[in-house]
Chain A
Amino acid sequence: MAWERRGGNLYYYQVEREDGRVRKRYIGAGEVAEMIAHADETIRRTRAERRERARTELEEAKGLALAGAELHQAAEILARAQMVAAGYHRRKGEWRRRRSA
């Protein structure tokens, strides 16, 4: 969003991106333009805050999942060791008992 000075007056333009190209749309000058600019700024700020909140939530969710990853792996190793010690082996992802065990 931008104010541009032309001939001593300020004019408000909305800048939008459309099909990869930047397009400027003339809104006007004076009190109404100021109100629209204020509304645009509020919308922009709200969107930025939402994006930031979403980013934080995503980071937290990733952190929580990651925090349990080592434990998950350790439990898998211990369970596998137990199965192997009992004479099992994996075949196509399934545990089978060894004949010799």
Chain B
Amino acid sequence: MLELTEATRKRIRELQELADKAEGGDDGARLELRRRLREESPEVVAGCSDSARSYRRLLAERSSGGNPLRKEAISERAGRMALELAGENPTPLEVLLSERVASLWVLVELQEALLAAWYYKANATSPTFVLQMARLQESAHRRYLAAIKTLAQVQKLQGPSRVQVNIGGNQINVSR
């Protein structure tokens, strides 16, 4: 179940509209947003987390090249990464954001491997394909870094005054 349900999509759209108004300075919208997040977000976030786990499993399957042992190893490693990133007593949103970082890590690794293979047979592959693949990989990497940053920002709301996340050589610091 990779796609979000229509009900989840609708709630997310509504939350987005409220966030737009609140960010524009509407205090009433901010109060309403707080109420909606308190009452509805656990369910919405849970729906997204289910999709995130399905996505991670799909990526692990594709990365494994059909080898069940490798699939299990990739899935397990990404799962551990998500747990580690979420930290102790995570909120449902932190769990979702950690799942997303772990999924994007698998995607980036997969695309890097594909790109490396294409470079290796560069004289046999059209430069256009290599270029398209490189763009795709760059875009996944940008999303991956953005996901790490978002997680760090949300974690900063919950706890210590400084959050540092180190993943695969990428370090993101967020300080108050």
Residues on the A chain within 8 Å of B136, using CB: 58, 61-62, 65
CB <8 Å contact, B41 and A78:
yes
Chain A residue numbers with a CB within 8 Å of B139 are 65
Interface size class of A (residues with CB under 8 A): 35 or more
Q: Is the CB of B153 within 8 A of A84?
A: no
- Among B102-157, those with CB < 8 Å from A are 103-104, 107, 110-111, 114, 118, 121, 124-126, 129, 132-133, 136, 139-140, 143, 146-147, 150-151, 153-154, 157
**A57 touches B (CB below 8 Å):** yes
Nearest-CB distance from B126 to chain A (Å)? 7
B86 proximal to A (CB < 8 A):
no
Q: Is A19 an interface residue (CB 8 A)?
A: no
B16, B33, B126, B151: the one contacting A85 at CB < 8 Å is: B33
Contact of B19 among A50, A80, A101 (CB under 8 A): A80
Residue of A nearest to B151 (CB): A79
Measured in the bound complex, the distance between the Cα atoms of B33 and A70 in whole Å is: 21
* A83 shortest CB reach to chain B, Å: 7
Stretch from A4-12, A21-29, A33-41, A86-94 forming part of the interface with B:
A86-94
Assembly CA distance A81 to B15 (angstroms): 7
How far is the CB of B59 from the nearest CB of chain A, in Å?
7
B52 interface residue (CB < 8 Å to A): yes
B45 touches A85 (CB 8 A): no
A65 touches B150 (CB 8 A): no
- A47 at interface by CB-CB < 8 Å: yes
Whether A78 contacts B129 in the complex (CB less than 8 A), given A61-B111, A84-B30, A89-B23, comes out as no
Per-position binary interface string of chain A over residues 56-83, scored 1 when its CB falls under 8 Å from any chain B CB and 0 otherwise? 0110111011011011101111111111
Interface residues of B in 42-58 (CB under 8 A from A): 44-45, 48, 51-52, 55, 58
| Stretch of B68-76, B77-85, B92-100 that contacts chain A | B92-100
Interchain CB contact under 8 A, A71 and B51: yes
